[in-house]
Structure 1
Amino acid sequence: MPLPRPCLMLVTDRSLCGGADGLADAVEAAVEGGADAVQLREKSLPASELSTLARRLREVTRGALLVVNGPLEVATEAGADGVHLPEDAPPVRRPRQGFLVGRSIHSPVAARRAEAEGADYLVAGPVYETRSHPGREPAGLALIEQVTQIVRIPVLAIGGVTAGRVEEVVRAGASGVAVISAVLAQRDRRAAAGKLRRALDAAWAGAGAVRR
């Protein structure tokens, strides 16, 4: 299944949800609110625990895509829709047709390389200052503009994206957004996802020729 356009991707952080149990509930609420993709990203979990969590999230993401930022085996065993790779990770061989491979990138050079290696979509950033990458200088909208001019695959903007910033990242060329705290740090995750969904759909409808 290809990545939908426009795409609202939730990136997980169980520390914002009181652990794995709370994360599953938060993900379910976000999907109900309009998230159409979830990236399981829990770098500190050992593979066995990540696998257990992936299977739990698969149960609450029916109707949405689930990609695992971790070992390919974890994704396939959980029945996930794909994997998500860091910028410097080696390419992976798809286990089946339609299996998604996404990649995080921080430069146009990395974006071009990722597309050449077969990535289906990119997550580019951080666009704005973000708590998930303290101390990293934000790349700004220029990164989105530059990357979307040289690749044909969807590019999602990440890093400090809020509902109020969705329109400008879409106008810069993004095919969607990836968020963490904009949903998970909110009291009502379903409502937060819904607000982002409405902003994204409105921005996409008005974006015209800048869509990619």
Structure 2
Amino acid sequence: MTDRHAFAPSPENPVATLLERIAGAARAGVEWIQIREKDLGGRELRALVHHAVRGAVQNAAAAAPRCRIVVNDRLDAALAAGAAGVHLRENSLPVKDVVQWCRSGNAPADFLVGRSCHSLESVLDAQAAGASYVFFGPVFATPSKAEYGTPQGIAKLAEICDRARVLVLAIGGITLENSEECHRAGAAGIAAIRLFQEAADLAALVIRLKF
């Protein structure tokens, strides 16, 4: 997941810095990157996603699955820029409507529709609606997810993974140290901002994170 405002110290051109990091993530073998730049206007976002998709393709690791770019909540920008999917907030467009529209010839057959979820009910609703995957969390404490209250914890993540058939990715306070707990709980993967953006050696991190 991206956040161009999180770079420290703040670069002169945060978008260019972000695109460099995305290219580096693709070279390192990161499989999915979610563009989460909520404050960008439509034209700026489409341009960013377009360059991110191109950078991911050009820099994809030879021995790794292709790096897919998904866009936070903006279906229009995702499709216009050739992204691999859209990631919907829990209170965003209904997953069922987006999936049906995309599967009616309006998007590539393998276009991903994901959703953020904060409860078992939400996960099962997204699954029934045809979501490609869900984010569940926050599993651990993190400033960016404080609005969602007390962390859900590993036990709840394990329950979610046991009950759900859809791919579940753990999010919220994920570190290298606790990522293995998420794996043991049944998560198909993890999502994070700081873990990846602040990594000194992203390739080494990805190798250690591979489930």
TM-score by length of 1: 0.83
Q: % of aligned pairs identical? A: 37
Partner of 1:38: 33
1:199 is aligned to 2:208: yes
**How many residues are treated as equivalent by the alignment?**
188
List aligned pairs for 1:71-150, cutoff 5 A. 71-89=74-92, 90-91=94-95, 92=98, 93-94=101-102, 95-134=107-146, 136-150=149-163
Q: Gaps (5+ residues) in structure 2?
A: 58-65
Q: Which has the higher contact order (CA 8 A, sep 6+)?
A: 1
Partner of 2:60: none
The DSSP-based 3-state class of the residue aligned with 1:134 is helix
Partner of 1:159: 172
Once residues 154 and 136 of structure 2 are traced to their aligned partners in structure 1, the CA distance between those partners, rounded to angstroms, is 10
Letter in 1 for 2:177: G
My pick for the range that moved more, 130-139 or 115-124, is: 130-139
1:58 is aligned to 2:53: yes
Note the aligned Cα RMSD (angstroms).
Answer: 1.5
Q: Gaps (5+ residues) in structure 1?
A: 1-10, 205-212
- Counting helix residues as a fraction of each chain, which structure ranks higher? 2
Structure 2 CA distance for partners of 1:100 and 1:159, relative to 1, 3 Å: same
1:21 is aligned to 2:31: no
Once residues 167 and 71 of structure 1 are traced to their aligned partners in structure 2, the CA distance between those partners, rounded to angstroms, is 31
Once residues 71 and 131 of structure 1 are traced to their aligned partners in structure 2, the CA distance between those partners, rounded to angstroms, is 24
- CA deviation profile, 1:37-66 (whole Å, cap 9, x unmatched): 100111111222111111111111113011
Contact between 2:29 and 2:67, CA under 8 Å: does it hold in 1?
no
Once residues 29 and 112 of structure 1 are traced to their aligned partners in structure 2, the CA distance between those partners, rounded to angstroms, is 35
- CA deviation profile, 1:19-39 (whole Å, cap 9, x unmatched): 211110111112222211100
Contact between 2:30 and 2:67, CA under 8 Å: does it hold in 1?
yes
Once residues 110 and 165 of structure 1 are traced to their aligned partners in structure 2, the CA distance between those partners, rounded to angstroms, is 24
Once residues 58 and 13 of structure 1 are traced to their aligned partners in structure 2, the CA distance between those partners, rounded to angstroms, is 16
Once residues 194 and 116 of structure 1 are traced to their aligned partners in structure 2, the CA distance between those partners, rounded to angstroms, is 37
Contact between 1:34 and 1:194, CA under 8 Å: does it hold in 2?
no
Once residues 90 and 203 of structure 2 are traced to their aligned partners in structure 1, the CA distance between those partners, rounded to angstroms, is 27
Letter in 2 for 1:192: L
